Structure 1
Amino acid sequence: MSNALARLRKLTDDQLFLRTPNGMEPTPYAQQLAGPTASALQVIHAAINQKASFDPSTSKRAFTVGMTDIGEIYFLPKLMKEVARLAPNVSISTVRNTAVNLQDEMEAGHVNLAIGLLPQLKAGYFQRRLFKQQYVCMFRRGHPLDKKTVSLSEFSSADHVVVISAGTGHGNADEILGRKKVVRKVVLTVPHYVAVGHILHDSDLVATVPERLAQALAGPFELSYIRHPAKLPEIAINLFWHGRFHKDPAITWLRSLIVGLHGEGAPD
């Protein structure tokens, strides 16, 4: 205690406490500091114990999550259903990692979480594996490739739609096909996956897409998919957050909700 008081006296250039016949008494300056110091301690105490103060059932927190169009198709329906049930006043906005500098926005707290194949998020970030998935070959039901076994030659000869998903790791699939010297007859190139279901439903085009997207599109658009003939490697889809907000109770709650709904072992 004496060492701490000595440091404070040096810092404030005041004795702060004086010895009197009645014991140690605060100086006028120490009394002046008492109010602001108590307020500051209350703020610190509230920050340390803020976890207990977050109640999703009454919170009006607005979250921003970085994800691709694939993420919106696959994650949002189930997530928003649970948010409506558990946190009816909470809102969620999504943002493309190509529309903002995702690293800067997450560090500043403007984007709370990011989901996807995001190799650029490394130092300073936490991540949690949600799942691994394969790339598959997708087409309309009744397509000539809609059979148990498809050769690489048959795959190459088909008409293809290719998605150039800038800012994500999904471009690796095209790079790997190139390294394997798999030549495709590309007749359509689009910048996102959101239109793929509509395109495949009304054409004989073939697309290489992540398996979870294929699962989401197959029923509504009457599509089929098979294991990719080129045997592409699995990809990992992760949940990311910046280390500055690792213990933020609201973000911790949303992370847990997403992992519970979409993490490995989560119910379909």
Structure 2
Amino acid sequence: MDLKQLDLNLLLVFNQLLAERSVSGAARALGLSQPAVSNALARLRKAMGDELFLRTSRGMEPTPRATQLAEPVAAALQLLQGALRQDQGFDPATSSRAFTIGMTDIGEIYFLPGLMEALAEVAPGVTVSTVRNTAVQLKDEMESGHVDLALGLLPQLRTGFFQRRLFTQHYVCLMRQGHPLDKRRIGLREFSAAEHLAVVSAGTGHGVVEDELARQGIERRVRLTVPHFVALGHILAGTDMIATVPERLAQRMAGPFGLRWLAHPAPLPEIGIHLLWHARLHREPANQWLRQLIATRFGDG
């Protein structure tokens, strides 16, 4: 079909329906009535010669044709929106912008205290929400503009994304102060014989380290396995278990939980932690500002 035959406002409705999977939800988000959105969808279906969305028990599911259109339509709308915002600039001191950042629980422990402190100083009206990198379709959420930035080791974000390395992660052994292995250095035999707390975090940098320990044939007496790092400090502080963790996480946890970290006895790879964003937000003033703030606060230079 020819673009001049299509009301471009219909693409806004299409993009919102993809995000909400609900006519009523799209209507609320767009500030329209439900009949207006239903009418727009009917016009879209006629113009495209496709149902585009089908009612299911899970909501309005896109057809293959709608899925095919999703990325180019979202990219075009974001490009137009970015162009319209270019001359507006971004004033952090007066902004009430809400940002969404993808990160792991390690990221929340390491980044959020410093980030929120910085925002309180220079952008008191700005708010932040986080989503787990592995709990959402991060690539799709960033392409659609629902997630502004992501932090971590995220090899799935390649085509269409920019990245900036913040620092390199080293891995260490973490344990309570006074632990039998609390000394200057531990060997592989002592490491293997100890009781371990293992964090299974597939799809993250830590998952790579776990795989490397297995590849080297290093056996451990794993007493407890958990899917995240949130409770790590509490558990290690009250037991004789040890854990393999990123050094910067160990630094954050050592003081509050009375822990100590030592050099790891195994030759483990270093993991690069990156700041990532979608190409369509590359020149968006608010996104540029937040990227620079994070890089200045946490980057190694």
TM-score (ref. length: structure 2): 0.71
Return the match for 2:269 from 219, 233, 239: 233
Q: Deviation at 1:119? A: 1.4
Distance 1:178 1:85, change over 3 A: same
Unaligned runs of 5+ in 1: 1-10, 12-43
Aligned counterpart, 1:19 = none
1:178 and 2:214 aligned: yes
Aligned counterpart, 1:134 = 170
The letter of the residue matching 1:215 is: Q
Report SS of the residue matched to 1:203.
Answer: coil
Preserved contact between residue 60 and residue 89 of structure 1 (Cα < 8 Å): yes
Q: Return the alpha-carbon distance in structure 1 between the equivalents of residues 274 and 132 of structure 2.
A: 16
- For 1:59-109, what per-residue CA distance to the aligned partner results, in whole angstroms no more than 9, with x for missing partners? 111000000000000000010011111111110000001221000000000
- For 1:217-265, what per-residue CA distance to the aligned partner results, in whole angstroms no more than 9, with x for missing partners? 0111110011110021111000000011100100100000000100004
Aligned counterpart, 1:61 = 97
Q: Deviation at 1:167? A: 3.1
Instruction: Specify which structure has the bigger relative contact order, considering alpha-carbon pairs within 8 angstroms and separated by 6 or more residues.
Output: 1
Q: Report the RMSD for the aligned CA atoms in angstroms.
A: 1.7
Preserved contact between residue 162 and residue 207 of structure 1 (Cα < 8 Å): yes
Report SS of the residue matched to 2:83.
Answer: helix
Q: Return the alpha-carbon distance in structure 1 between the equivalents of residues 82 and 265 of structure 2.
A: 57
Unaligned runs of 5+ in 2: 5-79
Aligned counterpart, 1:197 = 233
Q: Which moved more, 1:242-251 or 1:52-61?
A: 52-61
Q: Return the alpha-carbon distance in structure 1 between the equivalents of residues 203 and 213 of structure 2.
A: 19
Q: Which runs of 4+ in 1 moved over 6 A?
A: none
1:102 and 2:133 aligned: no
**Percent of matched pairs sharing the same residue:** 61
Q: Deviation at 1:120? A: 1.1
Q: How many residues align?
A: 223
The letter of the residue matching 1:100 is: V
Q: Deviation at 1:149? A: 1.7
Report SS of the residue matched to 1:170.
Answer: helix
